[in-house]
Copies of this chain bind each other. A is one copy, B any other.
Amino acid sequence: MGTITIKDVAKLCGVGVSTVSRAINDHPDINPETKQMIMKVIEENNYIPNNSARNLKRSDSKTIAVLVKGVDNPFFGKMIRVIEEEIRKKKYSMVVHHVEAQEGEVAAALELERQKKLCGMIFLGGFYSETSEDLAKVKVPVVLVTSAKPQLEANAGYSSVSVDDVKESYRMVDYLCELGHERIAILTATMYDESVGKLRLQGYKKALQKHNIEINENLIKYMKDSEDYSMKCGYILMKELLESKEEISSVFAISDSLAIGACRAIHEAGLGVPEDIAVAGFDGLDIGAYYTPTLTTIVQPVEEIAKEAAKILFHVIKKKTIHTHKFFEGELVVRESTNEKDSAH
């Protein structure tokens, strides 16, 4: 097959080289029909853009593995999407590997490392129980995303990107207290959680303490081992809470999915959100804006977090930097699911 150049493509299409370039590079400033025509000509003539040609050397295929903890969490779905884009921009490819809730992330990572020629790994979520020493066994650079371990060591041998879970959770519960709520329940991770669950529970306790509200263990609902950050789990935990007859005026769920399940359980009990029980979530999933009632939540800057994770990973791979720990600010978004205590009564 003869080699066709970008100039040939331009000639065949009757457009300038810069227009072909815009079409190839997904530049917004191009007529969609022109772009379609150019892409068709490119395909028909098997034209390979320069940057792709460079990747033809299959021997040095560069792969980044993304390890995701937990079953199809929509929060991670969006993040994987952004990370993939960043990885693709750098001409690396991405392997996604889901880690079962019960499976050890480090064991899974080591297995992956054995099987593939990896340049780096990004962990999404997880780290319920593994130690930094475990993690150090992974030889390629690692960035933990929203799976911050409680103790971050400057020389930890890995990087991390997340919001400050204690602070954001404190921000939400402080807000609920300011609304006049005192009987605030929390739907949280398992009792043994060493990751964001533990941190968000800390933030909850800290906010209650600030407002001189005694911590009531009956209002802390932990997931069981087999449960995850799902709507179903939120529904089950909330039902148990309602059946326990504990007086509650609001619920802080440590993920939006949990919060939505809780809203449904409250609705089925014949109660209203927020009139009877206010509900707040965490994450900032799209559904929070379309659920009825719309959901008060902490919006995590998903895009920024994902982009930064990829950026740090590539810096470490290229030895431009040592491992770093970066925190992003969350945003308290107040919607319909929370109101002032007794404001409706």
Could you list which residues of chain A lie within 8 angstroms of chain B, going by C-beta atoms? 26, 32, 35-36, 39, 42-43, 48, 52, 55-56, 58, 61, 71-72, 74, 77-78, 80-81, 84-85, 93-98, 100, 102-104, 106-107, 110-111, 114-117, 134, 137, 225, 230-232, 235, 260-261, 263-264, 267, 286-287, 289-292
Q: How far is the CA of A107 from the CA of B290 in the complex (A)?
A: 35
Please tell me if the beta carbons of A96 and B98 are within 8 angstroms of each other in the complex.
Answer: no
Please tell me if the beta carbons of B93 and A94 are within 8 angstroms of each other in the complex.
Answer: no
Please tell me if the beta carbons of A55 and B260 are within 8 angstroms of each other in the complex.
Answer: no
Please tell me if the beta carbons of B287 and A287 are within 8 angstroms of each other in the complex.
Answer: yes
A288, chain B: closest CB distance, angstroms = 10
Q: Which residues of B contact A291 (CB under 8 A)?
A: 264, 291-292
Q: Which residues of B contact A35 (CB under 8 A)?
A: 102
Please tell me if the beta carbons of B117 and A58 are within 8 angstroms of each other in the complex.
Answer: yes
Q: How far is the CA of A39 from the CA of B286 in the complex (A)?
A: 38
Please tell me if the beta carbons of A264 and B235 are within 8 angstroms of each other in the complex.
Answer: no
Please tell me if the beta carbons of B115 and A43 are within 8 angstroms of each other in the complex.
Answer: no
Q: A39-B107, A43-B137, A98-B81 are in contact. Are A231 and B263 (CB under 8 A)?
A: no
Please tell me if the beta carbons of B290 and A292 are within 8 angstroms of each other in the complex.
Answer: no
Of all chain B residues, the one with the shortest Cβ separation from A268 is B292
| A interface: dominant SS | helix
Please tell me if the beta carbons of B107 and A80 are within 8 angstroms of each other in the complex.
Answer: no
Which listed residue (B61, B100, B114, B117) contacts A48, Cβ 8 A? B114
Sample (5) of A-B pairs whose CB atoms are under 8 Å apart: A32-B102, A48-B114, A84-B98, A85-B98, A263-B292
Please tell me if the beta carbons of A115 and B93 are within 8 angstroms of each other in the complex.
Answer: yes
Q: Which residues of B contact A42 (CB under 8 A)?
A: 107
Q: How far is the CA of A77 from the CA of B293 in the complex (A)?
A: 25
Q: Which residues of B contact A78 (CB under 8 A)?
A: 72
Q: Which residues of B contact A261 (CB under 8 A)?
A: 290
Please tell me if the beta carbons of B93 and A58 are within 8 angstroms of each other in the complex.
Answer: no
Q: Which residues of B contact A231 (CB under 8 A)?
A: 286-287, 289-290
Q: Which residues of B contact A292 (CB under 8 A)?
A: 263-264, 267, 291-292
Please tell me if the beta carbons of A32 and B110 are within 8 angstroms of each other in the complex.
Answer: no
Please tell me if the beta carbons of A93 and B81 are within 8 angstroms of each other in the complex.
Answer: no
Q: A81-B98, A94-B96 are in contact. Are A39 and B104 (CB under 8 A)?
A: yes
Q: Which residues of B contact A286 (CB under 8 A)?
A: 230-232
Q: How far is the CA of A292 from the CA of B337 in the complex (A)?
A: 13
Please tell me if the beta carbons of B287 and A225 are within 8 angstroms of each other in the complex.
Answer: no
Q: How far is the CA of A117 from the CA of B97 in the complex (A)?
A: 19
With A42-B107, A61-B116, A93-B116 given, name 12 new contacts (CB 8 A): A43-B110, A55-B114, A56-B115, A58-B115, A72-B78, A77-B77, A94-B95, A231-B287, A231-B290, A263-B292, A264-B292, A291-B292
Please tell me if the beta carbons of B58 and A116 are within 8 angstroms of each other in the complex.
Answer: yes
List of 10 A-B pairs having minimum Cβ-Cβ separation, nearest first: A72-B77, A231-B290, A264-B290, A77-B77, A72-B81, A55-B115, A72-B78, A96-B96, A267-B292, A260-B290
Q: How far is the CA of A77 from the CA of B287 in the complex (A)?
A: 15
Q: How far is the CA of A286 from the CA of B229 in the complex (A)?
A: 13
Q: How far is the CA of A100 from the CA of B205 in the complex (A)?
A: 44
